[in-house]
């Protein structure tokens, strides 16, 4: 069984934000919510690195652990999804998430939160695959159609890889060996408790 | 003319060839092997060791998104799932066990000389209103708060996820909205009863004699005895801390970063558990723990013998007429006046 993961090659990312735009468009993400974002470290200085970050779909997901109403579930592919019908918008998943993946539309009382939204690995939610209800709540379900997430598909430099963890780790290792350098798979130690040693 | 142009072109061509030949060496020296693209780059491990979070620059208005990684979330998760549950279970179940044991051993503290039938006003209507408003809010806040920590483990197995979500959703609304009257109540309680709750020498004596909880001792006390003063300051100080941390949580990221939010949640949770334990003790002594105590806050009046045994200095003050509330006799029917 495949274990789906994301890998962002920080040495290749050119901060074009194609992944951000692709995700927004494919999932009709509402205004103000950013499932995926690109963050640049040392912007403008030598050694500038950009990383594309969304939900990493962690092993033993912290968001799943702290949710007071048990709104999260992990699929057989290792994708961490949640139910917006069960979510009460308490905000605890954001405190626990090391990557800041949960987003809130700020429509709750006192304008604070509302039902949580996050990257779904383009795998939808608990509603039936491909249904209108699923699309309205969670966005596209590409995984059910056998496709990979739109962000990785649209990446202009193929720095953002998505797919089975072993396969993309292998791709990354080959890259690093061929070009002679690599800053590592950002977030992998925190999310999956593994590092890619090249 | 044509001959000089042709000569010119040969000279230019030769010079170009010489230029290419001469510049071959410096060009060859610029092969990729002499440039290291990772020279000034940072690595994830290095940044995590240096700072608590890995931050960069983004291009969207939400500045929280500029943090790539905050590993402190893992520690907070452990605190909330493990530590806080232990604190809560030990505090609440512990105090309940202690109260049961104490009641079985001591029983209800009786009015030893029996009821006299005469009563005296202890708390006026305004005081009672503020107390009951705060107390009712506290009970609902406590239950809805405990649901966040323990609901998933204890209640969710007993009902459908949809039902549990509906209960938790309304509990959250209640918790957020009742925080306002509760905070107002704490502030009013602070001003209302500060005069009677300043610690003094009488309290040292009261504590030394164990408050009369063991045996039949009746140490002197003014309007509020030392145990009540402890409760007062727990309510005022604990209530203030809970209110401040609670409002930080309710208005998230208004000037706070994620570390502050996590700390606020931890403070709010720990103080709440200890607060609940203290209030369970208070509720016990005010209801089944002591005969004649509940009516003080229920009806506002207490039996004179109860006052004599438990708050004799206060009774003297009231009788001396120095207090706004005067001793009230049971209305003796004055025949035909």
* B81-99 confidence digits (pLDDT tens): 999 999 999 999 999 999 9
Compute the nearest-CA separation of A77 from chain B (Å). 23
Q: Which residues contact A127 (CB under 8 A, 6 or more apart)?
A: A133, A134, A137, A138
Range of lowest pLDDT (A64-68, A182-186, B123-127, B234-238): A182-186
pLDDT value at residue B303: 95
The mean pLDDT of B268-292, rounded to a whole number, is 96
Residue A88 to residue B168, Cβ atoms within 8 A:
yes
pLDDT value at residue A62: 96
ipTM of the complex: 0.91
The mean pLDDT of B92-114, rounded to a whole number, is 95
Q: Is B62 a domain residue? A: no
Domains in chain A, CATH or no CATH each: 10-162 (3.30.70.20)
All residues of chain B having their beta carbon less than 8 Å from the beta carbon of residue A102 are: none
Residue B37 has pLDDT above 80, yes or no: no
Q: Is B47 a domain residue? A: no
Residue B277 has pLDDT above 70, yes or no: yes
Task: Give bridge partners of residue A7 from the DSSP assignment.
Answer: A161
pLDDT value at residue B50: 82
Residue B333 has pLDDT above 60, yes or no: no
- Host domain of residue B202: 72-328
Q: Is B10 a domain residue? A: no
The mean pLDDT of B132-156, rounded to a whole number, is 97
The total number of structural domains in chain B stands at 1
Task: Choose among B40, B68, B77: nearest Cβ to A66.
Answer: B77
Q: Are A133 and A84 in contact (CB under 8 A)?
A: no
pLDDT value at residue A106: 80
Q: Is B32 a domain residue? A: no
CATH number of domain containing B170:
1.20.950.20
DSSP string, B48-64: HHH-SSEE-B-SSS-GG
Residue A96 to residue B73, Cβ atoms within 8 A:
yes
The mean pLDDT of A139-161, rounded to a whole number, is 96
Residue B330 has pLDDT above 60, yes or no: no
Q: Is B334 a domain residue? A: no
pLDDT value at residue B157: 96
Task: Choose among A39, A67, A69: nearest Cβ to B58.
Answer: A39
Q: Which residues contact B48 (CB under 8 A, 6 or more apart)?
A: B54, B69, B71
Q: Is B300 a domain residue? A: yes
Q: Is B33 a domain residue? A: no
Other CB atoms within 10 Å distance of the CB of residue A12? 17
Average pLDDT over all residues of chain A: 93
The string over B248-285, giving b where at least 16 C-beta atoms fall within 10 Å of a residue's C-beta and e elsewhere, is bbbebbeeeebeebbebbbbbbbbbbbbbbbbbbbebb
Residue B140 has pLDDT above 50, yes or no: yes
Q: Which residues contact A50 (CB under 8 A, 6 or more apart)?
A: A10, A13, A14, A15, A38, A39, A40, A41, B56
Q: Is B273 a domain residue? A: yes
């Amino acid at each position: 069984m495949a274990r789906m993961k994301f890998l962002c090659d920080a040495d290749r990312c050119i901060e074009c934000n194609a992944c951000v735009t692709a995700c927004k468009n494919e999932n009709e993400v509402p205004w103000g919510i950013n499932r995926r974002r690109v963050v640049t470290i040392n912007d403008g200085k030598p050694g500038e690195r950009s990383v594309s970050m969304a939900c990493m779909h962690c092993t033993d997901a912290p968001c799943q652990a702290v949710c007071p109403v048990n709104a999260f579930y992990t699929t057989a592919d290792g994708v961490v999804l949640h139910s917006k019908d069960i979510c009460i918008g308490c905000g605890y998943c954001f405190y626990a998430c090391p990557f800041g993946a949960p987003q809130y539309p700020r429509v709750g009382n006192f304008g604070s939160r509302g039902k949580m939204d996050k990257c779904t690995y383009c795998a939808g939610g608990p509603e039936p695959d491909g249904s209108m209800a699923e699309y309205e709540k969670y966005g596209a379900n590409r995984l059910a159609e056998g496709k990979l997430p739109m962000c990785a598909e649209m990446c202009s430099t193929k720095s953002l890889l998505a797919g089975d963890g072993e396969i993309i780790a292998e791709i990354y290792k080959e890259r690093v060996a061929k070009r002679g350098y690599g800053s590592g798979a950002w977030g992998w130690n925190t999310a999956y408790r593994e590092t890619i040693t090249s | 003319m044509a001959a000089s142009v042709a000569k010119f072109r040969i000279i230019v061509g030769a010079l170009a060839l010489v230029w290419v030949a001469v510049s071959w060496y410096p060009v060859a020296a610029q092969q990729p092997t002499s440039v290291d693209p990772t020279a000034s780059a940072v690595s994830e491990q290095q940044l995590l060791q240096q700072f608590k979070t890995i931050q960069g620059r983004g291009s969207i208005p939400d500045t929280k998104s500029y943090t790539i990684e905050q590993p402190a979330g893992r520690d907070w998760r452990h605190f909330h799932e493990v530590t806080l549950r232990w604190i809560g279970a030990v505090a609440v179940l512990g105090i309940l066990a202690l109260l049961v044991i104490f009641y079985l051993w001591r029983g209800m503290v009786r009015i030893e000389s029996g009821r006299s039938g005469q009563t005296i006003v202890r708390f006026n209507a305004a005081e009672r209103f503020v107390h009951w408003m705060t107390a009712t809010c506290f009970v609902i806040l406590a239950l809805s708060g405990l649901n966040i920590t323990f609901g998933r483990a204890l209640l969710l197995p007993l009902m459908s996820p949809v039902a549990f979500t509906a209960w938790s959703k309304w509990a959250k609304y209640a918790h957020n909205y009742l925080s306002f009257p509760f905070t107002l109540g704490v502030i009013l309680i602070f001003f209302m009863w500060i005069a009677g709750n300043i610690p003094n020498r009488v309290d040292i004596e009261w504590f030394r004699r164990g408050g009369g909880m063991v045996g039949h001792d009746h140490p002197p006390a003014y309007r509020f005895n030392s145990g009540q003063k402890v409760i007062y300051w727990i309510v005022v100080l604990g209530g203030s801390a809970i209110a401040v941390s609670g409002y930080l949580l309710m208005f998230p990221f208004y000037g706070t970063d994620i570390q502050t939010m996590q700390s606020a949640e931890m403070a709010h949770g720990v103080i709440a558990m200890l607060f609940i334990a203290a209030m369970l003790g208070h509720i016990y002594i005010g209801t089944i723990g002591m005969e004649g105590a509940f009516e003080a806050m229920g009806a506002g009046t207490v039996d004179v013998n109860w006052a004599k045994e438990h708050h004799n200095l206060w009774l003297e003050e009231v009788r001396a007429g120095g207090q706004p509330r005067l001793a009230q006799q049971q209305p003796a029917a004055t025949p035909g006046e």
